Structure 1
Amino acid sequence: MSPQPVAVFDGHNDVLLRLYNQGGEAGIRGFLDGTDIGHIDLPRARAGGFAGGLFAIFPPSPMAADFMDAMAGDNYDLPLPDPLSIAEGQAPTLAMASILFRLERASEGSLAVCRTVSEIRAAMRRGALAAVMHIEGAEAIGSDLEMLDILHAAGLRSIGPVWSRHNRFGHGVPMRYPSLPDTGPGLTDLGGALVRTCNRLGILIDLSHITEQGFWDVAAISDAPLVATHSNVHAIAPVSRNLTDRQLDAIRERGGVVGLNFATAFLRPDGRMVADTTLDVMLRHLDALIARLGETGVAIGSDYDGAVVPAPLSDVSKLPALWERLRAAGYGEALIARIARDNWLDLLDRTWKA
């Protein structure tokens, strides 16, 4: 008899974007009943122990070509997409929020939108997928910040002020290899107001796509733990999206967490977005993160449905392969449980406000 899968709470996935791009109810039905599209659906989640996570709402930029194809090369420096208007940000943001709530309704108890850690734990105990609303790129929020209050009331509990493009709140890092994350300015004055309001509301601030200057701007303003939901170690993979040792030290000092990103471009020392990537390179990042952050500062932020991931982890049903690799490397069950879910739940408990 095979062992029970490790229960996983993930710091980042893009399944809502996938369902938004599919359009209509077919994507929702496929997610609930099972599909061969993408990385996550309910049957594969159950098979792999994927018990919940931050479900990203991402207002996409029109792109002439798939940026992930460009990132499969030996080096790249992709231009930042043009900023979105508030209408271009709001329409997909509200549509993806609607998809999340329609998933909850149609699942008949198999998926729950959670707003507190106690709700996450309760959903996991009864075998429901615990979904937390997260926004990646705050273009739906106007200068008056009124939309932030509305989204928080609807269930928003985590936000990345920027994706890899600029907006009214700050500046994002380009997709660039090789490159430091120090690629330009950081927060705007309005971005500072957004951070303060998120602190007041208890909304987690995700630093995964912001410039290094933006990281330090948030660190100076925020009174919450510093968090990067889906980023890796720059010293191993020198991509603009990864974190320097100095940033990692600041995250540790503030009691924060980094979620290991499965996107292969941010794992591989050659920066290439290709599936032919081993679990050993993931282990290198985890070892380095633990050495820098301690055992309480490391989690996962898979980027499933938003990136090319290593072939051995080609969808959520394959997650047990990661835990088996960690066991083979000498990781104990308590540390695996921390990485898989407990560190996220502890961080959220310290960040959110009822």
Structure 2
Amino acid sequence: MTDLVPVFDGHNDVLLRLCGRRAPAGEIAFLDGTADGQLDLPRARAGGFVGGFFAIFPPSPASLDFTAFETPDGLDVPLPEPLAIGEARVSTLAMVSLMLRIERESAGRVRICRDGAALRTAIADGALAVILHVEGAEAIDPDLAMLDVLHAAGLRSLGPVWSRPNIFGHGVPFRFPSSPDTGPGLTDAGKRLVRACNRLKILVDLSHMNEKGFWDVAALSDAPLVATHSNVHAVTPTARNLTDRQLDAIAERRGVVGLNFATSFLRGDGRMSTATSLDWMLRHLDALLARLGEHGVAFGSDFDGAEVPEAIGTVAGLPVLIEAMRAHGYGETLIRRIACDNWLDVVARTIG
């Protein structure tokens, strides 16, 4: 692994993929590896993946088939109904428990990191460095008692909404072509949640948030603005991507955007297809660098939550992307910043 560029990643959904397995099957599957999915510890080692934001996403009862809603004119996926708090808590706590068990059974190979110093130490020690991240805060009550519980368990990053609405705000639909300006922003409870995250030094993730919610967070938060897994609307005009004005605001606040590998957010036609050229990823990276500068761009793969270009396939394929960046003319210092260092820097400035 010494010749691999280290990659710290903004988003994955491996906990969702594994949490339905009866203990200890989930932790064994992650630590020993599986034939399915896109991320586990052996393949992480093979790809230079040194850590990342591990998402806790409370799923809706029925899964979405995106391709069923593709038309010649684009894509418009109906959003699931709001998720009940009790149902969200069951899945949220199951994924927190799974990550805690993975750490416990890993014999030091996996560490949940609660601050920037712990993150850098874990990476230096050769451990997989994990930041616990909630994607959709349906498990958190209006009084935010569950936020304190999750913070004590190690939570250090939170997206108030996934795309479906909840008591804290409204997300963007999976719609192409579309502006991200699709509805109202944060509720009063959502504003309280953002303030509490600032107080607890929990990073607030802007991915999946609609444009009004984005600007609500920008007005309320005193932390860097961060989108863990989002792309450029000017390249791919889907509601999930960020406008130039949003990117400029992130740049002004010394924030970071993680390039999402999901093909429907990369391609010019908004289609979901693994037969997607890496040229689309490079096009988004160029656009992000033009708006954010070399310190504001990172990776946010969405492994185990999206179809990614077949040239990458799984986390073990990350060196293919690194080599494409070299061939595109990116220097080694810039590659290292995008692949790892920019996340380590913004995490240290946000969670301490």
TM-score range, shorter chain: over 0.9
State the Cα deviation string for residues 197-251 of structure 1 (Å, max 9, x = none): 1011110000000110100111111111111000000011111100000100010
List per-residue Cα deviations over 1:73-115 (Å, max 9, x = no partner).
5422111111111101111000000000010111111111111
**Which consecutive residues of structure 2, in runs of 5 or more, have no partner in the other structure?**
none
Are the structure 2 counterparts of residues 71 and 12 from structure 1 closer, same or farther at C-alpha, using a change threshold of 3 Å?
Answer: farther
TM-score, scaled relative to structure 2: 0.97
In 2: Cα distance, 1:195 partner to 1:155 partner: 17
1:285 aligns with 2:284: yes
Q: Distance in 2 between matches of 1:271 and 1:21?
A: 31
Match for 1:290: what amino acid? L
| CA distance in structure 1 between the aligned counterparts of 2:140 and 2:41, rounded to whole angstroms | 31
Query: 2:64: which partner in 1?
Result: 66
Q: 1:287 and 1:67 mapped to 2: Cα distance?
A: 31
Aligned-residue sequence identity (percent) comes to 65
Q: Whole-Å Cα distance in 1 between the matches of residues 292 and 308 of structure 2?
A: 24
- The aligned residue for residue 55 of structure 1 is 54
Provide runs of 4+ in structure 1 moved above 6 Å: none
State the Cα distance separating 1:55 from its structure 2 match.
Answer: 0.2
Aligned-partner residue type, residue 25 of structure 2: A
User: Counterparts of 1:170-319 in structure 2 under 5 Å?
Assistant: 170-319=169-318
Runs (5+) with no aligned partner, structure 1: none
| Alpha-carbon distance change, 127 to 73 in structure 1, aligned in 2, over 3 angstroms | farther
Q: How does 1:33-182 map to 2 (within 5 A)?
A: 33-63=32-62, 66-70=64-68, 74=72, 75-182=74-181
Deviation at 1:272? Answer: 0.8
- Residues in 1 aligned to 2:111 and 2:105: alpha-carbon distance in whole angstroms: 11
Query: What are the superposed Cα offsets for residues 317-353 of structure 1, whole Å, 9 maximum, x if unpaired?
Result: 1100111111111101110010011000100111114
The structural deviation recorded for 1:23 is: 4.1
Structure 1 residues 35-80: Cα deviation after superposition (integer angstroms, max 9, x where no partner) = 11100111100010000000000000122x5333336654221111
Which one-letter code corresponds to 1:67 in the other structure?
A: D
**Could you say if the C-alpha distance between residues 23 and 265 of structure 1 is closer, same or farther in structure 2, counting changes exceeding 3 Å?**
farther
* TM-score, normalised relative to structure 1: 0.97
Please list the CA deviations of residues 270-293 of structure 1 after superposition, one character each: whole Å capped at 9, or x if unmatched. Answer: 001110011111000000000000
Amino acid at match of 2:50: A
Amino acid at match of 1:48: G
Shift in Å at residue 27 of structure 1? 2.9
Distance across 2 between alignment mates of 1:147 and 1:288? 38
Q: What is the alpha-carbon distance in structure 2 between the residues aligned to residue 304 and residue 109 of structure 1?
A: 23
Whether the 8 Å contact between 1:180 and 1:238 is mirrored in structure 2 is: yes
- C-alpha RMSD of the superposition: 1.3
CA–CA distance in structure 2, aligned partners of residues 67 and 221 of structure 1: 35
Are 2:26 and 2:98, in contact at CA under 8 Å, matched by a contact in 1?
A: no
Deviating more after overlay: 17-26 vs 164-173: 17-26
Equivalence for 1:25? 24
CA gap of 1:140–1:246, structure 2 versus 1, over 3 A, is same
Structure 1 position 25, deviation (Å):
2.4
Give, in whole Å, the separation in 2 of the partners of 1:200 and 1:97: 22
Distance across 1 between alignment mates of 2:217 and 2:345: 21
Cα distance in 2, alignment partners of residues 199 and 183 from structure 1 = 26
8 Å Cα contact 1:10/1:54 also seen in 2: yes
8 A contact 1:71–1:273 mirrored in 2: no
- The SS at the match of 1:53 is strand
Q: How much does 1:129 deviate?
A: 0.6
- CA separation of 1:71/1:114 partners in 2, compared to 1, >3 Å: closer, same or farther? farther
SS of 2:111's equivalent in the other structure is strand
